Amino acid sequence: MKTSRSAVRARLAALCAGLLAAGALLAAQALPAHAADAPLRDLAAAKGKVMGTAVTGSKLTGTYGDIAGAQFSSLTPGNAMKWGSVEPTQGSFDWAEADRIVAFAQAHGQLVRGHTLVWHSQNPGWLTNGSWTPAQLSTLLQNHIGTEVGRYKGKVSVWDVVNEPFNEDGTYRSTLWYDGLGADYIASALTWARAADPAAKLYINDYNVEGVGAKSTALYNLVRSLKDRGVPIDGVGLQAHLILGQVPGTLQQNIQRFADLGVDVAITELDVRMALPADSAKLAQQAADYKAVTAACVAVARCVNLTVWGFTDSDSWVDSTFPGYGAATPYDASYAPKPAYTAIAQALGGGTTTPPTGACTAAYAVTSQWNTGFTGQVTITCSGAALSSWRANWTFGAGQQITQAWNATCTQSGSAVSCANASYNGTVPDGGSVGFGFNGTWSGANPVPAVTLGQAVSAAARTAP
């Protein structure tokens, strides 16, 4: 004889089936056509590299968030971790944007490059306007590094500890730090950062050090002497804010000589600016420039990370900093990939074939729901395209929380959910589908989110050379 509980369950199941039949709980979104090729982060991973972008925390939603999450495996806060951002008033901290970027990165399986701890620019007014003894300056800097690195210990895996220490001729730049503490402010900062998070990789970062020259040689000599002295230094960041057609011919050689010192190298802030307006010839030259930089990094094993300083022309520092110049990033201001995007993909070994015209879509359905819980199902279907791995991303709109998932690995950070294929169901053939399920909690309302697909590898991309 049926217990009353199973009778209730049966009635609920019937109710849910009815709701589903009405199609009320379905949402689907097609992969944008340009994402049919493998995302840059997957192409980079296949070469042993990390592909990064600088981001603005407040923009990490919608298309900007989708691209940032799907295409990149590393995020650098463009401004959010600078001293002036995190401690605008002495002793009063604002971590909101930095925290948001870190949470987004965790939800999307990305690492974070912390930028930057010691710099002459974008410091808070109270710091630059104060008059400090060397001992006070030293204490301020030590506390700043300890506080910020300590806060993100285990979450920020790489720090640009010191930014832009050199003049063009290779002498030390006169700054608050150099003038007050001497050149050893660099060694002190690195040592304090190591103490605050022994696992984080510590970098010195500068611009106009991409090719062999007076400035890069000064950086080279500094890194060599720091290593000789046993000061912790793990890597060198070459910013690479480049001008159209001016990739230094000695870029790869320069990367190699730093690698030969026993440190990692990262291209940390790549952009290629051009005199506006852009035209097809300039965009083609820009593509060649991006390709040359990417290829130089690919050619050196210890070049571990290639980061663009903003991925879209709508989020670039160039236009306001270099009047008359712009269009410096791989996506235009409307998020359409430019020739530079394709050039990076190709230099990372991506397909040169035309992407298939078909698409893969993800459909989200609530398959059953009870007073505080629900079961959801996401089905990924391909037609005219295929996937060899996938990641389904969505944002819950009403505080829902995933408690358990099967046939996928799901992480949730705030309202952002990201589910990656299990080892056995990454492949979605053309004309086929795979699904995964999860249990969650809800209260008040359980609206259906739009699901976007990332980390998708198309059949065309897989067969390309």
Binders of ligand XIL in range 234-253 (CB under 6 A): 239
Which CB, 239 or 412, lies closer to ligand XIL?
239
* Shortest distance, position 54 Cβ to ligand XIL, whole Å: 6
CB of 197 to ligand XIL, least distance (A): 21
Of the candidates 148, 234, 269, 313, which one interacts with ligand XIL according to CB under 6 A? 269
- Provide Rg for the chain, Cα atoms: 25
Alpha helices by DSSP H, 92-175: 96-107, 125-128, 134-151
Instruction: State which of positions 146-165 bind ligand XIL (CB under 6 A).
Output: 163
DSSP H or E segment with residue 162: strand 158-163
* Helix, strand, coil fractions of the chain, as percent rounded to 5: 35, 30, 35
**163 versus 216: smaller Cβ distance to ligand XIL:** 163
**How is residue 278 annotated by DSSP?**
P
Q: Is 110 in the site for ligand XIL (CB under 6 A)?
A: no
Comparison of 127 and 422: residue with beta carbon closer to ligand XIL: 127
In whole angstroms, the minimum distance from the beta carbon of 238 to ligand XIL comes to: 11
165 versus 351: smaller Cβ distance to ligand XIL: 165
Which lies closer to ligand XIL via its Cβ, residue 37 or residue 269?
269
Task: Provide the Cα torsion 377, 35, 39, 352; round to 10°.
Answer: 140
Query: What is the CA 66 to chain-centroid distance, rounded?
Result: 11
Which residue is it, tokens 């939800």? Answer: 107
Q: Which of 29, 79, 314, 389 binds ligand XIL (CB under 6 A)?
A: 79
Specify the amino acid at residue 21: A
Would you call 210 a catalytic residue per the annotation?
no
Contact 137, 181 (CB under 8 A): yes
Q: Which residue is nearest to ligand XIL (CB)?
A: 317
End-to-end CA distance of the chain: 64
Selected from 52, 57, 69, 78, the binder of ligand XIL by CB under 6 A is: 78
* Contact residues for 369 (Cβ-Cβ < 8 A; gap 6+): 16, 375, 442, 446
Contact (CB, 8 A) for 434 and 379: yes
Which residues in 310-329 contact ligand XIL (CB under 6 A)? Answer: 317
CB of 239 to ligand XIL, least distance (A): 6
Are the C-beta atoms of residues 50 and 74 closer than 8 Å to each other?
Answer: yes
Q: How many residues bind ligand XIL (CB under 6 A)?
A: 6
Residues annotated as catalytic are 269
Give residues in contact with ligand XIL (CB under 6 A): 78-79, 163, 239, 269, 317
